[in-house]
């Protein structure tokens, strides 16, 4: 991913996550703030997918170091709404995983919503729901 393309990434992010199944309320500004903050962190790594020069998808996150090696926390992954279901997500994720292995990753983890389009898709890509970890939230 290239910082000079932040506006394009933010537009894709906003369009994807403001639609089903997330129905968020991102603006170009808030999406840019989120993506830009991660891109400016020294633990950031991300990739984009383009077809015929057009942005189709992005995937990014942060490296984390644990006692048993380098882990990667996948933070965001999105594919253009019009390209979903055409194999673009799998192609991008496969290339991303290959690069993570090349860079020494021993584990990739993420947080997602329950449901067929989210958790179900990741399970079909080989991810497993954790047996020991849980996500806890505190609304303020």
Comparing 131 with 92, the larger pLDDT belongs to: 92
**107-124: b or e for each residue (b if 16 or more CB lie within 10 Å)?**
ebeeebeeeeeeeebbee
Per-residue pLDDT tens for 42-61?
A: 999 999 999 999 999 999 99
Q: Say how far apart CA 40 and CA 25 lie, in whole Å.
A: 23
Q: Helix H segments across the chain?
A: 6-17, 28-39, 88-102, 121-124
Confidence (pLDDT) at 131 = 83
Task: Name, in order, each residue with C-beta under 8 angstroms of 90's C-beta and a sequence gap of 6 or more.
Answer: 125
Residue-range domains of the chain with CATH: 3-124 (3.40.630.30)
Using pLDDT thresholds of 50, 70 and 90, give the confidence band for residue 137: confident
- Average confidence (pLDDT) over 63-80: 96
CB count in 10 Å sphere of residue 96: 22
Pairing status of strand 69-79 against strand 105-110: parallel
Name which of 130, 112, 132 is nearest 122 in CA terms: 112
Q: Which residues contact 4 (CB under 8 A, 6 or more apart)?
A: none
Nearest 5°: phi and psi at 13? -55, -50
Please report how the helices 6-17 and 28-39 are oriented relative to each other, as an axis angle in degrees rounded to 10.
120
Q: How confident is the model at residue 108 (pLDDT cuts 50, 70, 90)?
A: very high
């Amino acid at each position: 991913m290239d910082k000079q393309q932040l506006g394009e990434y933010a537009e894709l992010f906003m369009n994807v996550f403001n639609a089903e199944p997330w129905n968020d309320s991102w603006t170009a500004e808030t999406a840019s703030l989120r993506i830009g903050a991660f891109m400016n962190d020294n633990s950031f790594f991300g990739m984009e997918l383009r077809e015929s020069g057009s942005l189709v998808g992005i995937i990014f996150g942060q490296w984390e170091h644990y006692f048993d090696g380098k882990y990667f926390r996948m933070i965001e992954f999105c594919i253009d709404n019009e390209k979903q279901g055409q194999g673009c997500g799998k192609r991008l994720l496969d290339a991303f995983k290959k690069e993570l292995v090349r860079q020494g990753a021993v584990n990739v983890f993420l947080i997602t919503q329950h449901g067929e389009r989210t958790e179900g898709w990741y399970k079909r890509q080989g991810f497993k729901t954790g047996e020991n970890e849980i996500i806890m939230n505190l609304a303020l």
